[in-house]
Chains A and B, each alone.
Chain A
Amino acid sequence: MGRLRAPLAWLALVATIAVPLGVAAGSDYLAYRGPVYIVAGFAGILALACLLVQPLLVAGVMPGVPRRIGRRWHRWSGALLMAAVAVHVGGLWITSPPDMIDALTFGAPTAFSAFGVVAMWALVMAALLAVARRSPGLRPQVWRLAHGAAVAVAVAASVPHALLIEGTMGTLSKAALCVAVVAALVWVLARLKPWTGVIRSRSGPTGR
């Protein structure tokens, strides 16, 4: 079992992402959609997949990817995530501007629209923090909590956003990916404890 652990972990991760992508690629609905709408939909799935990979990379829990390398990949994967969100929102805007205006102004009749917009702004927040990580006056302990909180909001909103949508994704594979996204975040937050050292103690900062 010990020797199998690494390949099994990677196989599980790849399958959790590849199966929902494959099911969506085989959806009947694609035949009735234009190319822009199709790309926008798959960008959404890609963004959900990035949400799964991101915490695993930054915590260095994937076999063969130590934290030093994982953190570098985390930045690239984060950039990919933001690009996917931009393509998702932009593509849906081109497909149906009035529906996107409703969504972005929280006027849509569908709850998943509001969840999606909340998730988008939380991700923008997390990304802006990532860019401003080295800025003076921002203590690392505070930065870690803020970035972690923004990501937690993003995941908490992204999962109902995805689950409530009736689209190209298969119900089961979508639910499995969502469970994995939540589990990965909770596991990594419990491991990295971004809330430590936020409140300054007399004996000095305790964070890493």
Chain B
Amino acid sequence: MTQSRIDRRTFVATGAASLLTCATGLVSPLHAQGVAPTRSMRGGANNYRPGAPVVERIGGGGFVMSGTVRRAGDGAPLEGIRIQIWAHTTEGRERDPHSHGATLTNADGVFQLEMPQIVPAFGQPHGHLAYDSGAFKTVFLRPVMPSARDTSLQAHFVLEPA
């Protein structure tokens, strides 16, 4: 008796919940197919210097910053996208011009730039990356290294048209 009452209640609750999620668009087959654009991270734009030059590497190198750039929606890799990178490193502070450099993505949408070892600053070992070239909406990222001893860091962009 009691058992059957709980069953009915559970059935109604589950049905209502699934109806609610579909109706509000929280779960949608349309969204599930598209690759969502990357949102800028808080503090990502701090100490940004627009127009830093494209370089072979920043300073003496030894640390690898890499990642991918794709298009929102279909997720296609984007070639020739300019990504600017800066951080507090063993060779300079975030604000120093020589701590900044830019690189371009290859045909697979992959970018990679060597830079000096990132050192914890303002409480976290972190880097900064920016896409700010106009064709797509500007995105600033601020990835944090799992360990200050890491010698590489990755960050990925999904850009939507401006």
User: Do the beta carbons of B46 and A99 come within 8 Å of each other?
Assistant: yes
Encode contact with A along B43-54: 1 for CB under 8 Å, 0 otherwise.
101110000000
User: In whole Å, how far is B21's beta carbon from the nearest beta carbon of chain A?
Assistant: 30
User: Do the beta carbons of B120 and A109 come within 8 Å of each other?
Assistant: no
User: In whole Å, how far is A88's beta carbon from the nearest beta carbon of chain B?
Assistant: 12
Bound: A31/B92 CA distance, A:
10
- Known pairs A34-B93, A107-B42, A108-B42; A99 contacts B88 (CB<8 A): no
> Which residues from 121 to 162 on chain B have a C-beta closer than 8 Å to any C-beta of chain A?
121-125, 142, 148
> Which residues from 71 to 94 on chain B have a C-beta closer than 8 Å to any C-beta of chain A?
88-90, 93-94
User: In whole Å, how far is B87's beta carbon from the nearest beta carbon of chain A?
Assistant: 11
User: Do the beta carbons of A32 and B122 come within 8 Å of each other?
Assistant: no
Q: What residues of chain A lie closer than 8 Å to B39, measured between beta carbons?
A: none
B41 near A: Cβ within 8 Å?
yes
Q: What residues of chain B lie closer than 8 Å to A32, measured between beta carbons?
A: 88-90, 119
A135 near B: Cβ within 8 Å?
no
Closest to A101 in B: B46
Closest to B48 in A: A98
**DSSP majority for the A interface?**
helix
Q: What residues of chain B lie closer than 8 Å to A34, measured between beta carbons?
A: 93
Most buried by A among B42, B89, B94, B122: B122
User: Do the beta carbons of A96 and B123 come within 8 Å of each other?
Assistant: no
- Known pairs A32-B90, A166-B125; A96 contacts B47 (CB<8 A): yes
Encode contact with B along A14-57: 1 for CB under 8 Å, 0 otherwise.
00000000000000010111100100000000000000000000
Bound: A97/B76 CA distance, A:
38
User: In whole Å, how far is A83's beta carbon from the nearest beta carbon of chain B?
Assistant: 22
Bound: A123/B86 CA distance, A:
35
User: In whole Å, how far is B29's beta carbon from the nearest beta carbon of chain A?
Assistant: 33
User: Do the beta carbons of A110 and B123 come within 8 Å of each other?
Assistant: yes
Q: What residues of chain A lie closer than 8 Å to B123, measured between beta carbons?
A: 110, 112-113, 164-167
User: Do the beta carbons of B95 and A99 come within 8 Å of each other?
Assistant: no
Encode contact with A along B82-119: 1 for CB under 8 Å, 0 otherwise.
00000011100111000000000000000000000001
**Residue from the list A96, A164, A165 in contact with B46, Cβ < 8 A:** A96
Bound: A106/B45 CA distance, A:
16
User: In whole Å, how far is B151's beta carbon from the nearest beta carbon of chain A?
Assistant: 15
Q: What residues of chain A lie closer than 8 Å to B120, measured between beta carbons?
A: 29, 166-167
Q: What residues of chain A lie closer than 8 Å to B119, measured between beta carbons?
A: 29, 32
Q: What residues of chain A lie closer than 8 Å to B95, measured between beta carbons?
A: 96
Give 7 A-B contacts (CB < 8 Å), ordered by A residue: A32-B119, A96-B122, A99-B46, A99-B47, A107-B43, A109-B41, A164-B123
With A102-B46, A166-B124 known, 13 other A-B pairs at CB within 8 A are A32-B88, A32-B90, A34-B93, A92-B122, A95-B122, A96-B47, A96-B93, A96-B94, A96-B95, A98-B45, A109-B41, A166-B123, A167-B123
